[in-house]
Amino acid sequence: MYELKIITQMACAHQLREFEGRCENLHGHNWKIEVFVTGEELEPNGILIDFKRVKTATEEVIDKLDHKFLNDLEYFKQVNPSSENIARYIFRALEQTLNNEMVRVSKVTAWESDTACASYAEP
Ligand SMILES: [Zn+2]
């Protein structure tokens, strides 16, 4: 199995609901987002998927979140804007545009600090 990863980042504000701790207050993070794609077979040219395609698709998703107050977005009115749910949101959006017979999104990781991250993955 081949695995590729791209890294990007976004700056957002959030305020967790039903959470006792510092994240219940309005604040922001510079999230580092990692996107993993996997596949069993390479193209004849020896690549799994052009990194640029993964980066472009990810930027399109991130654009909707970057420099926003996440709680204001329709999706996060229903779903708490935790790093876990941010990772899942990005995963779900990316699998729509990137998945095909050869390649699939396997994991998205959202780092909310240098030492803490949450991932959403499908085996
Ligand atoms: Zn937070």
Compute and round to an integer the Cα radius of gyration of the chain. 15
23 included as an active-site residue: yes
| Tens-digit pLDDT profile for residues 41-94 | 999 999 999 999 999 999 999 999 999 999 999 999 989 999 999 999 999 999
Looking at residue 19, its pLDDT comes to 80
- pLDDT, position 64: 96
Instruction: List, in sequence order, the alpha helices (H) in 9-71.
Output: 51-62
Say what the pLDDT of residue 24 is: 84
Query: Catalytic: which of 24, 27, 41, 67?
Result: 67
Name the active-site residue from 23, 43, 59, 117.
23
Q: How far, in Å, from the CA of 104 to the mean position of ligand 1?
A: 29
- Cβ neighbours of residue 75 under 8 Å, at least 6 residues apart? 89
pLDDT tier, 22 (very low <50, low <70, confident <90, very high otherwise): confident
C-alpha–C-alpha distance, residues 12 and 71, integer Å: 10
Give the pLDDT confidence score for residue 70 in this predicted structure: 97
